[in-house]
Amino acid sequence: MDAIAISRTGLDVEWRRMEIIALNLANMNSGPAADGTSFQPLTLLSGPAGSFGAVLDGQQPPAGVRAYGVQPSGAGMRRVYEPGHPQADANGYVSYPNVSHASEMALMVKTARAYEANLVALAAAQQIYSSALQIGKQA
Amino acid sequence: MSALDPVAVLGLSDGPAQIMRLGLPALPTPATGHTSFESVLSAGLDRVNDKVAHADELVRQFALDDSVPVHQVTIALEEARLSIELATQVRTRLVETYRELMNMQL
């Protein structure tokens, strides 16, 4: 796998992470669905594609990064007292997902910066490739 | 030099061998003998064609449904452009060399 392909895997993973952050922020004030289940804040798990040990031993070329999957962040629910709300339970509480606004925003900035870093690495790899094509060019 | 003994215990004392071990595996050596220049050239052109077709397919998908991440489309286009550039470079060198041989004074 060359540098361009590795940078592409990085871009893919950051893109997915951004989607999950957008999903969490969009569902920040979602009440329970019709079947009673509530939205759970999610986190994206990512890690090196291929075994780190195998790459380090030189048995396998580096293969970039990949998303392992999405799992609930375990933040639980935020219960708000709204007796007049149609979705309120017997005690007058409505359950909302406990999305942490601040940490989602911080993660979003981090994700955007990581995406940019991958773009810069990609541009550098492409520029190196282009300049290698100039070797021995006539005039 | 008893202070350096722990390093020897870790097996890191034979420096160059360890550094070599971190390197990437050697590139697979191309099969020698039967591959003619023509087949190498046409295989390369096939790969260029595959990349262009892949980029074309991604652009089509993106136009129909923009759930395809846009960077995949632009990277595929850029890879196709670079491989075409490589192919034209090969062609230019080939034609140049041919001309040079044809103009050789005997």
Q: What is the pLDDT of residues B64-106, one digit of tens each?
A: 987 888 999 999 999 999 999 999 998 999 999 999 999 998 7
Which pTM was predicted? 0.74
Does A8 sit within 8 Å of B72, measured CB to CB?
A: yes
In the predicted model, what is the mean pLDDT of residues A29-39?
82
Q: What is the pLDDT of residues B17-47, one digit of tens each?
A: 444 444 555 555 555 567 888 888 899 999 9
Distance CA A61, CA A49 (A): 10
Q: In sequence order, what are the residues at sequence separation of 6 or more whose Cβ sits closer than 8 angstroms to the Cβ of residue A77?
A: A38, A95, A96, A97, A98
Does B75 sit within 8 Å of A122, measured CB to CB?
A: yes
Give the nearest chain A residue to B85 (CA atoms).
A133
In this structure, what token pair is assigned to residue A113? 């910066």
Q: In sequence order, what are the residues at sequence separation of 6 or more whose Cβ sits closer than 8 angstroms to the Cβ of residue B48?
A: B80, B83, B84, B86, B87
Structural contact between residues A66 and A13, judged by C-beta atoms closer than 8 angstroms: yes
Indicate whether this complex's ipTM tops 0.85: no
Cα A50 to Cα A3, A4, A65, A88, B5, distances in angstroms: 16, 17, 8, 47, 34
What pLDDT score was predicted for residue B58? 93
Distance of CA B45 to the CA centre of its chain: 13
Structural contact between residues A77 and A95, judged by C-beta atoms closer than 8 angstroms: yes
Q: Greater confidence, A97 or B29?
A: A97
